[in-house]
Structure 1
Amino acid sequence: MKRVAKILPVGSWAVEKAADVFCADYEGRHRRRMVLPLQSGEKVLLELEHARLLQAGEGLCLEDGRIIKVEALPEELMEVRAQNPLHLVQLAWHLGNRHLPAAIEPERILIRYDHVIADMVKGLGGHIHRVQAAFDPESGAYAAREHGHTHHDHDHDHDHDHHDHAHEHEHEHRHSHSHGHVEHHHGGHSHSHG
């Protein structure tokens, strides 16, 4: 069975040169390790260091040099529409606050159907429609950096430290956020944090 040697980003390869196609819904494209059934009936092995979403339009470059095009199957989604652009941004904030995978477009947001979220959006004045569409959500600020290579037996001469990042969430704190600097200066004046 041939293996995927690397993943080519959307727009970085000639789509017309695709030798075959892998087509799946969101769940079927969000993987770390899997045997991928291609349209031709051939099967290839995908083996990554971390689970990630294979995005529609990416190319899976096999060991033999052939490139497999990734396509997204249409699936049942929830289309969120707003009263105006500002309202759409506000709805996006509420959806993002719940860490939901979302595809953000100029006039709508697509998410996977969830009746609780549908009720929340309606309560915030948004409009919900069930649609059939391909789902390619945003990768998110905290997604692991993609190196475009798969995990197999060879040496890497670079680090894979993905845990050195900070992030914030709004929640009640009962502790100080002091970082040890008691006093600092700002162009002629100073103040302290205590």
Structure 2
Amino acid sequence: MLTVNKLIPRGQGLAAVLLKRAARVELDWDVRQKSRFDATDSSGRTIGVFLPRGTLVRGGDVLVAEDGSLIQVVAAAQPVLVVRHCSEHGSAFDLLRAAYHLGNRHVPLELRPDRIQLEPDHVLADMLRQMHLIVSEEQVAFEPEGGAYAAGGHGHAHAGHDHGHAHQADHDHGHAHGHAHEPVHVHGPDCQHGHAHAPAAPASRGKPLGIAVTAAPAPHVHGPGCGHDH
């Protein structure tokens, strides 16, 4: 058995000539939603797939075997309920309503602009027909949504998009500064300024920022050398 423990979504980054030479393996959704399974590829080799738990295998993905060989996944045709709206008795909005009710039942759905696809279920089929939808059973590949918070695997992710705080590096405390701040001058014994230093005013609580606070003059202290005639 040939072990596989790596998957390349949609074969991204692989040259077309490599994909053309790769073996194929046809898998239905029941198998592809598992992260560990056995299968036989188009070369007759038995492969044992061991992927991280939660990984979904999609049609077009490429499996990488332990010997470096590539195996392209093909979504096998399988029985699927195809749901379309009735142009005479309804509208495309009926498909949205149907997706809502099926989603409440946690039914895996493949969403298309003009139809919904799900695995066969006669109870759900009857419910959909009562909603004036057209339900037919067809033999097609099934690729249900992976869910917005699906761990592992991959769904319809958009490469290059970051919907979080992409500008974190440029912003500090919610704003960016377009200029440098000059260092604050500190007065001390060696500052060489020709001015008298008044004691710092006590901090005034409740003062708005940006309002200058004038320091009170230093009180005169009477003593033997003050020069005053008391």
2:124 paired with 1:123: no
2:94 paired with 1:76: no
Residue matched to 1:36: 39
* 8 Å Cα contact 1:79-1:131 kept in structure 2: yes
* 8 Å Cα contact 1:26-1:135 kept in structure 2: yes
What secondary structure does 2:74 align onto? strand
2:67 paired with 1:60: no
2:142 paired with 1:135: yes
Residue matched to 1:7: 7
Relative to structure 2, which stretch is displaced further, 134-143 or 114-123? Answer: 134-143
Give the AA of the match of 1:17.
Answer: L
2:23 paired with 1:20: yes
Give the AA of the match of 1:20.
Answer: A
Identify if the C-alpha distance between structure 1 residues 23 and 113 changes in structure 2 by more than 3 Å, giving closer, same or farther.
Answer: same
Identify if the C-alpha distance between structure 1 residues 60 and 135 changes in structure 2 by more than 3 Å, giving closer, same or farther.
Answer: same
Give the AA of the match of 2:18.
Answer: K
* 8 Å Cα contact 1:15-1:69 kept in structure 2: no
Q: TM-score under structure 1 normalisation?
A: 0.69
Unaligned residue ranges in structure 2 (runs of 5+): 155-230
Relative to structure 2, which stretch is displaced further, 22-31 or 5-14? Answer: 5-14
Residue matched to 1:98: 105
* 8 Å Cα contact 1:32-1:49 kept in structure 2: yes
What is the rounded CA distance, in whole Å, between the counterparts of 2:93 and 2:129 in structure 1? 16
Pick one of 107, 115, 122 that aligns with 2:114: 107
What is the rounded CA distance, in whole Å, between the counterparts of 1:48 and 1:23 in structure 2? 17
Identify if the C-alpha distance between structure 1 residues 127 and 35 changes in structure 2 by more than 3 Å, giving closer, same or farther.
Answer: same
* 8 Å Cα contact 1:2-1:62 kept in structure 2: yes
Q: TM-score under structure 2 normalisation?
A: 0.59
Give the AA of the match of 1:64.
Answer: D
What is the rounded CA distance, in whole Å, between the counterparts of 2:109 and 2:16 in structure 1? 25
What is the rounded CA distance, in whole Å, between the counterparts of 1:94 and 1:11 in structure 2? 35
What is the rounded CA distance, in whole Å, between the counterparts of 2:129 and 2:63 in structure 1? 40
Unaligned residue ranges in structure 1 (runs of 5+): 148-194
Q: Which has the higher contact order (CA 8 A, sep 6+)?
A: 1
Q: Percent of aligned pairs with the same residue?
A: 36
More strand by share: 1
What is the rounded CA distance, in whole Å, between the counterparts of 2:123 and 2:153 in structure 1? 33
